[in-house]
Amino acid sequence: MSFFGMDCVKKKEQELERKLRANDREYNLPFKYATNAIKTSKYNPFTFLPLNLFEQFQRIANAYFLFLLVLQVIPQISSLSWFTTVVPLVLVLTVTAAKDATDDINRHRSDNQVNNRKVKVLIDRKLRSEKWLDVQVGDIIKLENNQFVTADLMLLSSSEPLNLVYIETAELDGETNLKVRQALTVTGDLGEDIEKLADFDGEVRCEPPNNRLDRFMGTLTYAGQKYSLDNEKILLRGTTLRNTGWCFGLVLFGGPETKLMQNCGKSTFKRTSIDRLMNVLVLCIFGFLAFMCTILAIGNCFWELNEGSQFTVFLPRQDGNDAGFSAFLTFWSYVIILNTVVPISLYVSVEIIRLGNSFYIDWDRKMYYSRSDTPAEARTTTLNEELGQIKYVFSDKTGTLTQNIMTFNKCSINGKSYGDVYDYTGQRLEITEHTERVDFSFNALADPRFMFHDHSLVEAVKLENPEVHTFFRLLALCHTVMAEEKKEGELSYQAQSPDEGALVTAARNFGFVFRSRTPDSVSIVEMGQQRSYELLAILDFNNVRKRMSVIVRSPEGKLSLFCKGADTIIYERLHRSCNKLMDVTTEQLNEFAGEGLRTLVLAYKDLDEGYFNDWKQRHHEASTLLDDRESKLDELYEEIEKDLLLLGASAIEDKLQDGVPQTIEQLSKADIKIWVLTGDKQETAENIGYSCNLLREEMNDVFIISANSPEDVRQELRDAQTSMKPGEDSVFLPEGTLGKGVKVMADEAVNGEYGLVINGHSLAYALERSMELEFLRTACMCKAVICCRVTPLQKAQVVELVKKYKGAVTLAIGDGANDVSMIKAAHIGVGISGQEGMQAVLSSDYSFAQFRFLQRLLLVHGRWSYLRMCKFLRYFFYKNFTFTFVHFWFAFFCGFSAQTVYDEWFITLYNLVYTALPVLGMSLFDQDVNDVWSFQQPQLYVPGQLNLYFSKKAFFKCALHSCYSSMVLFFIPYAAMHDTVRGDGKDVADYQSFALLTQTCLLFAVTIQLGLEMSYWTAVNTFFVLGSLVMYFVVTFTMYSNSMFLMSPSAFPFIGTARNSLNQPNIWLTILLTSILCVLPVVTYRFLFIQLCPTINDKMMFKVRQAKATPAPPPRRTRIRRTSSRRSGYAFSHAQGYGDLVTSGRFLRRPALSRSSGLTNAGRTTTGFSPMGRSAGYSPTGRPQNAKVPDVEVTSLQMYRTITDPSL
């Protein structure tokens, strides 16, 4: 695991250009460049207390309670003791400070782990081991194989030929295939000579720190010469050195100025929608509190004027205390008494609930990935309930949906398809891990990890089928892969993309082993025989050509051009004789595409010696032109890549992570919309969309937006809208705003299901202010959206667009540094941890190892957390409003004197002891249905998206319910005790007895209400509920005992009240009556509501009660085989290939070891061979294996000798 820090530091003065000199710290010091240390912590031991308290009192609730505390120490207005506020306030501040301290200690540890790594730095003409934090701009450092790159470096020299280094960029982009970087020749000559490196005094001028991962511009001035620097000369922090012995680099950017840290995105404090709603409600409650206090203050003024004068005889007023001043003091007194409408314990409880639900995620074994020993992790504790409200999921593709592992799956050669397995009846079998694998033991150079199941293909190779041999010969020759052989027979390939590596590995296993290359030759082992082909030209791949060709001369002197590329591109360049073979191959390509495979078409032609010499001369002249070089070369490539003869096609599987299609299907059923934002090509992304069930053949249409001008993009978007919803123009809901005048875009219903695929060029136009609403409207009408070739910035822009205009909760999930900005922009960010790197995880709110765990995170943990939090808030406001409103009614009977209706100790302990644990038990353990039913019925997730469980409407209902309950709790005991005497004739109706009765009725009423709210009773819940009632009576009898009164008469004035009152039957009958009257309307309302208009939860819980057992697992969705003409992505490198590098005129690697043939049963020695598995001549269409496709014209290749088995 690697940690590179999370947060960027504050920017200093804007830097316009970076200027530095190698090996000269004195020269570089005045520029005040950042060191290589990173700092993500906020506090140190001296600043923690003042800073943390300052931050905590910026929260309106904490400041409010501090204000109350100040009021309570003023004797003229306080009727409550100071400890009723100070105890909970200190508790809140302490818990929050402890949590902040723990988080900051972890950040310190992370910083120290990174900053204290060691690297070799050239100082005073010696290599010294230094900590990362001591590395400075302008230093020369030495890196060794498998070492993390310390800072952003300019590559100087390496151990590899041509000064190459191989790096893994998983931390940056999630891709595990290796990239190549190459140093300048002038610096490469420095080698590892310490003296030469110490004398190197080159000056670099380059761009200032920025977050562009794919671009670098600068110049190196050395020995009077100026050299251009680009991205190919730079090693970025966050990458890892692979397959390279050592390299030296010059530090250009350090610490927070590296591109990795610049990409960290703006760290924002994320708050849930419930938090935002709570802020609004708390402000409303403050307003309502002021309104109640004003009414009571006015009541006090009138009472003082009308009734108070009668008391002045024996209670004389102080000088100047008239009725108006008394009302003013009463206002503040009631602010103190009624402050429990916003109890401080609410915030403590919310933090505890969130922390507990976070632990459930951390402890969930069903989200633990044993293969990499990676558990799920809740990296934040403040967003759990938001997981139950997600409407849009934005996902990366490579490394998130897919494993970024390519496997050679199927192929078509000369019209025959290979790769499927059939039984003896001709039925196609599903390939599983138990299916018999092809035995490659005849080939000592085969890759043991390669798996293939169709035995007929290896039989065709052994039977020397000429088309099959040429097919694999092409795969072994037409590529830019580099081979490494450290031990005899142990080959490893370095490919620009995993696709190329998979194709070369397939050829290797089928007996055509690519062994080594030089700038002008390629050595392969063909069926055990070492052969060297002269490499005459590489016509390299790029995104426009979508193909690659090589021209080679065989050992026999035969000139051939081998070409592979996208089907549409190759088909345009085929000879007329291939038309019928092309039709057969197209049908097979459609079948491959239907299975989500990435396809390439392979073709070849033989060249005339004279023509080629003439072409080569013109090619040389064009390649040396200064102007219009690219177009001239393209013309020459077009000229020679004509009249090709079709060989067949390959099909590669970009392996999805386990469970991805099922997860996407489940989330779709939960009405969660999934958008894939990827840097991959359109074809690749589209077919991954099909293979993972995001796009489906059953969809009415899939719109492709690929225009290259704003007008065309707008038109394509409008055409799509018209197709989905003819004649509709309205975009906005007339009501509802997101604040600051931003209108909420409505969800529009469309007939059918649609998909949208848009490429990076079109997206750039679509995200412009004038068109963003058109794009958003079109995209939101679709079931699935795929954005291809997008930059990290565009990913964040798309997320922000949805957040801005949809008002929906968003989640972004990714695995690389290019996903960090998207992860930070979304309401919730999820990082995929594992082999792809940790940068996304460091910036995320939640992390786990596999995409499939997302459905459990949302449908189980998210839904439960949201449900529990909503139940908690509804119940908490109910019990506290009920508690507080009783004070309001009592004020009309105590002369508005701000006397409390309850004992002070009850007021202090009500929220902290008597009602704390039961509501926490419900909020931590309650669940409407278990996790199995949650998966079985994903529709249960929808109410969270619509905020049905807690909203302003629900809050208003809760307040009305509390108002009714408080009237019952005050007036029923009041009436019951009015003019009442005990059985012995003594009076019952004293203030203390009334206070005890009222608070006991209150506790029973709110406890019964809690029981009605709870759906899932556990032993813990039951213990908390009953234990709290027992605790109330134990504490009450203790507080009201003689011993406590004697210890402190002023603190415990209710002496004997409990034992004198609670032994009366009428007291218990009053408690029973008030409890029934409080819950009766709730039970009635719920009964009628469930009968007349039940919610989905009501229906589901009824079904669960009927089932009384765990349901059977849902039936597997059968894959619908697509037969459309959509083609899979051109399985090739994502960037321009290594063609120029391969032919650059110097050996790429040192001479390889002496080689044996590597094949034990080679070439023509097929005596005694018996077909394995499926018969060598069996075909699903009934044709013999080696028979030609009917009516396909014979090509020159098909005239080769074909071996057939007489037994066929």
Catalytic entry in 111, 139, 173, 396? 396
1139 pLDDT band (50/70/90 cuts)?
Answer: low
pLDDT exceeds cutoff 80 at 72: no
401 pLDDT band (50/70/90 cuts)?
Answer: confident
pLDDT exceeds cutoff 90 at 1123: no
Question: In whole angstroms, what separates CA 204 from the centre of its chain?
Answer: 38
1119 pLDDT band (50/70/90 cuts)?
Answer: very low
726, 718 contact by CB (below 8 A): no
pLDDT exceeds cutoff 60 at 1103: yes
Of 540, 646, 677, give the one whose Cα is nearest residue 1133: 540
561, 486 contact by CB (below 8 A): no
Mean pLDDT taken over the chain: 82
pTM equals 0.76
CA–CA distance from 214 to each of 172, 404, 818, 821, 823 (Å)? 11, 20, 11, 16, 20
1173 pLDDT band (50/70/90 cuts)?
Answer: very low
Residues 85-130 have pLDDT tens digits of 677 788 778 878 887 888 788 878 888 888 999 999 999 989 999 9
Query: Between residues 244 and 153, which one has the greater pLDDT?
Result: 153
708 pLDDT band (50/70/90 cuts)?
Answer: confident
Q: What is the pLDDT of residue 1197?
A: 38
- State the Cα–Cα distance between residues 691 and 683, nearest whole angstrom: 12
Name the β-bridge partners of 742: none
755, 786 contact by CB (below 8 A): yes
Q: What is the pLDDT of residue 1118?
A: 45
According to the per-residue pLDDT averaged within each range, which of 153-167, 986-1000, 1152-1166 is highest?
153-167
Burial of 706 (0-12, 13-18, 19+ CB in 10 A): middle
Q: What is the pLDDT of residue 1126?
A: 46
Percent of the chain predicted with pLDDT > 90: 35
Q: What is the pLDDT of residue 487?
A: 77
HEC string of 408-470? EEEEEECCEEECCEECCCCCEECCCCCCCCCCCCCECCCCCCCCCCCHHHHHHHHCCCHHHHH
176 pLDDT band (50/70/90 cuts)?
Answer: low
Return the structure tokens found at 1113.
Answer: 């697992």
Residues 865-923 have pLDDT tens digits of 999 999 999 999 999 999 999 999 999 988 888 888 888 888 888 888 888 899 999 99
Residues 529-556 have pLDDT tens digits of 999 999 998 888 776 778 899 999 999 9
- State the Cα–Cα distance between residues 1130 and 681, nearest whole angstrom: 8
947 pLDDT band (50/70/90 cuts)?
Answer: confident
Question: Does the annotation mark 423 as catalytic?
Answer: no
Residues 724-741 have pLDDT tens digits of 887 665 444 343 444 445
Q: What is the pLDDT of residue 1110?
A: 56
- State the Cα–Cα distance between residues 1008 and 1080, nearest whole angstrom: 11
Please report the DSSP string for 495-544 in residue order. -SSHHHHHHHHHHHHTTEEEEEEETTEEEEEETTEEEEEEEEEEE---TT
252, 152 contact by CB (below 8 A): yes
- State the Cα–Cα distance between residues 989 and 274, nearest whole angstrom: 44
Contacts of 1189 (CB under 8 A, 6+ apart): 414, 415, 416, 580, 581, 584, 1183
Q: What is the pLDDT of residue 512?
A: 93
1004 pLDDT band (50/70/90 cuts)?
Answer: very high
483, 472 contact by CB (below 8 A): no
Pick from 37-41, 576-580, 1167-1171: least confident: 1167-1171
- State the Cα–Cα distance between residues 90 and 989, nearest whole angstrom: 38
Let me know the angle formed at the C-alpha of 954 by 950 and 957, rounded to the nearest 5 degrees.
Answer: 155
153 pLDDT band (50/70/90 cuts)?
Answer: very high
Mean pLDDT of 1000-1010: 95
Q: What is the pLDDT of residue 1170?
A: 34
Query: Between residues 1044 and 1133, which one has the greater pLDDT?
Result: 1044
